[in-house]
Amino acid sequence: MHTRVSHLQIGEKQAIRIAATMIFLAFGARNLMAQTAADPVPQKHQRKVVVSVAHRKLAVVENGHVRKIYPIAVGAVASPSPSGVFEIKNRLVQPTYYHPGKVIPAGADNPLGTRWIGLSAKGYGIPGTNIESSIGKAASRGCIRMRREDLEELFADVEVGDQVEIRAGVDPELDSIFGELPAEPESDGVLSASMAGEPAQQ
């Protein structure tokens, strides 16, 4: 005896399978969307360097928190540090110092020290110095000088593209980062005139 199955019965079975598949996919998609919505969105790491000319200090700020503060030397009155928001354009180890009529290779006599962090302001950067007595003073030709150990530590922490703010004025944000201003900000015009150190043309 042969069992006859009508085309209608076959069609009903196919329709049931399709409906079941669609329900399964719908629930799967809903669960996936719920899981995705519950996952935390990774936040972009934000780091910037803030320089206060008035405080003679530099701070590394990460995700809104001050990570480290360093003493610095800033531009002398005759050659002030540029104000504005810049980017780190290059990072050099054992840089060569270039100045009109003078080229000094890496070594103890190099005014830039062991590292150079170049800024998007052409010719300006964050170097070391071979005269660390200038730190804490307005003594450079515009660059932001640091002690060797401090600069090497900063160098390892920053990357090309990081933001650098150089601010000449004083405001509540700078006060919250650096505290009170020095009682008598130091300036050393004689030292600045006698030192070839910045800017280094790279």
pLDDT the model gives residue 28: 58
pLDDT at residue 24 is higher than 60: no
Average pLDDT, the chain: 81
pTM greater than the 0.75 cutoff:
no
User: What is the domain class of 47-194 according to CATH?
Assistant: mainly beta
Q: Which of helix, strand or coil describes residue 137?
A: strand
Decide: 81 and 138 in contact? Cβ < 8 Å.
Answer: no
Report the length, in residues, of the chain.
202
In the predicted structure, residue 104 carries a pLDDT above the cut 50: yes
- Residue 7: φ, ψ to 5°: -60, -30
Asked if residues 70 and 58 have their Cβ atoms less than 8 Å apart, the reply is: yes
The three-state DSSP-derived secondary structure of 20-43 is HHHHHHHHHHHHHHHHHHHCCCCC
According to the per-residue pLDDT averaged within each range, which of 19-23, 29-33, 162-166, 197-201 is highest? Answer: 162-166
What tens digit of pLDDT does each residue of 166-201 get? 999 999 999 999 998 876 655 554 333 323 334 453
pLDDT of residue 94: 96
The whole-number average pLDDT for the span 84-106 is: 94
Where are the domains positioned within the chain? 1-41, 47-194
Q: How far apart are CA 9 and CA 153, in angstroms?
A: 78
> Which residue reads 């005896």 in tokens?
1
Question: Span 145-166, mean pLDDT?
Answer: 97
DSSP reduced 3-state for 76 = strand
Question: Over 80: is that where the pLDDT of 39 sits?
Answer: no
Judged by DSSP in three states, 200 sits in coil
Instruction: Decide if pLDDT at 148 tops 90.
Output: yes
**Residue 31 pLDDT exceeds 80:** no
pLDDT at 2 over 60: no
